[in-house]
Amino acid sequence: MKFIKPQEPRLVLEPPVSDDWLHEIKYDGFRVQLILDWAGARTFTKNGHDWSKRFWPVVNAAEKLPANSFIIDGEMIAPEPDGRPNFHQMHSRMTWNAELLAFVAFDILHKDGQDLRGLPAIERKAVLWDLVKPADGIIQYSQHVEGGGAEFLAAVDEMNLEGMVSKRRGSPYRSGESDAWVKTKCWDVDDLDLIGVKRQSGKQTEGLFARDGKYVGKAVIATTRAIKERLWQRIERDRTAQPAGIPTAAADGGVEWVKPGIKARVRHLRGEPKLRHASVQDFQVQD
């Protein structure tokens, strides 16, 4: 059995609402493919790197499942006592406490010589459940609901999770990005430090932001005219040199750098390393 390039969901800003979709939690961890054949079990990253030694407890558990061979798609997570994934614990547990990791299985591609990728998603999940049940150990099962995408996202947001993945219930498994799988992320609102403004004719004005002195990305400045005018006055008064640590690509295009003292409330997608789909809700400009 060989590694198969995984199917990837496309990012959307609103979840699908028809009953033709299955909805699952988007687990915050590392995408992993779990393979078993005559040579034993192995784990691979989404780019095909063999990480079996790092995930040895899951490898051992996979060899006890009731099948001669399989390829399972899932997410390796560092679960908290309540089951929620904690991405910040991933590296520590991989190094020191791999037995505290868990593999959440959400799809199956092959089983005992049969290629399952052409089956509908709902049927593949039934095969997967039959293989991993009761799924209450180190290998777990990604539960799903059918329909009710908006309500599912609201529940995920209330639990402070990253987001959700929706899959067409009748879709086959196809490697690469596909409209049959979409991901919807929850939103966070943070107070960040404005460090610069990029104004270009015919384009939306963007602010560059930092948290605790570290650059975190750009956000569209979508505030009232009165707030913007007050902000421009402050920038005209307190221009400064480019601070250290700003990526070259972010600084291109004539950024006006500003001295510390301007806070902004920024809305952005949860769980991203840099600001994404971000917009400024308000400013706190200290005169």
In order along its 287 residues, the chain shows pLDDT tens digits of 899 999 999 999 999 989 999 999 999 999 999 999 999 999 999 999 999 999 999 999 999 999 999 999 999 999 998 888 998 899 999 999 999 999 999 999 999 999 999 999 999 999 999 999 998 889 999 999 999 999 999 999 999 999 999 999 999 999 999 899 999 999 999 999 999 998 877 788 899 999 998 999 999 987 778 878 888 888 888 888 888 888 888 877 688 999 888 999 999 999 888 999 999 988 876 65
- On whether both 223 and 273 belong to a single domain, the answer is yes
Residues 231/224, Cβ–Cβ less than 8 Å: no
Q: Which of 202, 161, 205, 199 is nearest to 183 (CA)?
A: 161
Q: How is 26-68 classified by DSSP, letter by letter?
A: ---SEEEEEEEETTEEEEEETT--B-TTTTHHHHHHHTTSS-S
Q: Domain for residue 102, yes or no?
A: yes
- How high is the pLDDT of residue 245? 84
**3-state secondary structure (DSSP) of residue 265:** strand
Sign of CA dihedral 166, 168, 172, 178: negative
The whole-angstrom separation of Cα 83 and Cα 18 is 28
269-287 burial string, b = 16+ CB within 10 Å, else e?
Answer: bbebeebeebbbeebeeee
pTM tops 0.75, yes or no = yes
The whole-angstrom separation of Cα 196 and Cα 215 is 11
- On whether both 110 and 212 belong to a single domain, the answer is no
- On whether both 18 and 157 belong to a single domain, the answer is yes
- How high is the pLDDT of residue 223? 78
- On whether both 109 and 217 belong to a single domain, the answer is no
Tokens standing for residue 111? 């089983």
Range of the domain at 34: 7-185
- How high is the pLDDT of residue 146? 95
Question: How many C-beta neighbours within 10 Å does residue 237 have?
Answer: 10
Q: Domain for residue 130, yes or no?
A: yes
Residues 223/52, Cβ–Cβ less than 8 Å: no
Which residues, in sequence order, are bridge partners of residue 34? 43, 72
- On whether both 134 and 233 belong to a single domain, the answer is no
- How high is the pLDDT of residue 287? 56
Q: Which of 153, 185, 217 is the last residue of a domain?
A: 185
- On whether both 150 and 221 belong to a single domain, the answer is no
One-letter amino acid of 28: D
DSSP state of 170: T
- How high is the pLDDT of residue 14? 93
The whole-angstrom separation of Cα 163 and Cα 186 is 5
DSSP state of 209: E
- On whether both 179 and 267 belong to a single domain, the answer is no
Q: Which of 155, 185, 215 is the last residue of a domain?
A: 185
- On whether both 132 and 236 belong to a single domain, the answer is no
The whole-angstrom separation of Cα 108 and Cα 125 is 7
Q: Which of 121, 151, 185 is the last residue of a domain?
A: 185
In tens, the pLDDT along 166-222 reads 999 999 999 999 899 999 999 999 999 999 998 877 788 899 999 998 999 999 987
- How high is the pLDDT of residue 88? 87
- How high is the pLDDT of residue 286? 61
- On whether both 181 and 46 belong to a single domain, the answer is yes
Q: Domain for residue 68, yes or no?
A: yes
Q: Domain for residue 118, yes or no?
A: yes
The count of structural domains within the chain is: 2
